[in-house]
Structure 1
Amino acid sequence: MTRTEDIHHSITEADDLEELREKEIPLAEVLRSLAGHPLQIITRWNWKSALLGAILRASFYFTVYQASRESLIVTMTAVLVELSFRFFTSGVSGALVQSFRRATPAWLAILIVSVSLPLFSHTVEFITHYSQERFFSNVFPASENNARTYAFTISVLFSALSAMFNLFAMRHGVLLVGAGKETKSLGSDLKKIPLLVFEFVTYLPILILRFIGEGKLLYALGVFVSFGLAVGSILGGFRGKWSWAWTTALGAWVLLLAWTLIVAAGMRIIQLRAKS
């Protein structure tokens, strides 16, 4: 029996991907497992992602609504509405992301996660907040300064980034649930997150600089351009406005360029200090 057949056989028998011990699992087999055993997303509901996701999103909505000068009661209504569904959806999303942590090729797994999860979570988010303001505004006050629109739009990008970070963290053994010995306490995970955040936000700049150093300028340009196009497509697509697409793409390119220069300067300083 070949290696591929062996993996296929074990996945066919397993009710949960976390029962497998392979370090890498073909993406097609991950999708096959999820289709054949969808309940693993519920039984492996990621309470860590649920807790952190609910807190972060509630804080995010509170900040955006207050920045939009909404009244406190409107702000707290939006926060409570967000909490009402986010705790559940974040747990499901976390379980789904965890299912892809060993999927190969990694880039395709990242693409699927960064597109499918925002699509799922923001469909729920839009319906919930829209229904609250459209049909229940006489009970739960609606926003008066378009705060919901601003919050929803920015939240889409936040979801894509958080989905990618969760996958990045889970590939490093953090925020796992139901993964046997690999599962650590929440406290242990939280201690590792600051370093992971740093590694995550410097990943693209370091990758671009590495390609430049190796003379692969087209690769570096491809990474740079793809980042802006992805950000613009996500925000423009969900907002349904071309102006949002190209302006956010330009903003993403400016930020990535500036951050890459900062990272390059930091790496240069470290190299000089190491030589001295």
Structure 2
Amino acid sequence: MSNDPVPLHRVLTEMLRHPLRLLRGWNWKAASFSAILRSLFFLFANLHGTHHAAARAVMTEFIYGTFAAGVAGAALQRLRHAEPVRNTAFVVWLGIPSILLTAQALVHRAMGTQHVRTGLIASFIFASFASGFNWFAMRRGAFVIGEQRSFARDLLLAPKLIGQFLFTPLQR
């Protein structure tokens, strides 16, 4: 994929016309980070219930989170060169997490998860920041699938990227 800027509307149109391409581009790097953390939100939200309910919520979230984060990672990878950057940031920070939250709520309701609200709130906040961070890192070449950089190297760069993410204003 080229590093040339791409109009945001073109990237979004492509994703809407060919959503299965996001499945083929499933980003296992994004999925591996997200699934574990998101499962913990539902574990803590369901600790005061039965152990069975907590375990079921964690497993539901782990399975859903792995799938969803990989698809979201594929979308973020496609959006990494989209412009204008501020409009793309809106899609990344609010649009993608909102879509994930809707699907997540449906999955947990179907599975009978108790105390869904607390887990969903925490998960949305996490998804928003994770989406923003992954996009930020991907714009710098990290956590990208299909390129030569190894996952181990991405992990070594993660502390530096997190620092830059927290202390760097939105840039082109």
* TM over 0.5, shorter chain: yes
Shift of 1:65: 2.8
Q: Secondary structure at the match of 2:46?
A: helix
Aligned residue for 1:71? 50
Shift of 1:86: 1.6
Does structure 1 residue 153 correspond to structure 2 residue 124?
no
Aligned residue for 2:162? 197
Shift of 1:51: 1.6
Does structure 1 residue 26 correspond to structure 2 residue 7?
yes
Shift of 1:70: 2.8
State the distance in 2 between where 1:153 and 1:86 align. Answer: 15
Amino acid at match of 1:185: S
Shift of 1:42: 1.8
TM-score, normalised with respect to structure 1: 0.57
Amino acid at match of 1:161: F
Q: How does 1:80-229 map to 2 (within 5 A)?
A: 80-133=59-112, 142-143=113-114, 147-178=115-146, 180-181=147-148, 184-204=149-169
Amino acid at match of 1:44: G
TM-score, normalised with respect to structure 2: 0.88
State the distance in 1 between where 2:33 and 2:139 align. Answer: 18
Identity of aligned residues (%): 29
Q: Which runs of 5+ in 1 are unaligned?
A: 1-17, 134-141, 208-276
Structure of higher RCO (CA pairs closer than 8 Å, 6+ residues apart): 2
* Count of residue pairs the alignment pairs up: 170
**For the pair shown, which has the larger CA radius of gyration, 1 or 2?**
1
Query: Alignment RMSD, CA only?
Result: 1.9
Q: Secondary structure at the match of 1:175?
A: coil
State the distance in 2 between where 1:39 and 1:125 align. Answer: 19
Change (3 A) 1:22 1:203: closer
Q: Which runs of 5+ in 2 are unaligned?
A: none
Change (3 A) 1:22 1:51: closer
Change (3 A) 1:191 1:63: farther
Does structure 1 residue 56 correspond to structure 2 residue 37?
yes
State the distance in 1 between where 2:97 and 2:13 align. Answer: 21
Assess if the C-alpha contact under 8 Å between 2:41 and 2:122 holds in 1.
Answer: no
Shift of 1:36: 4.5
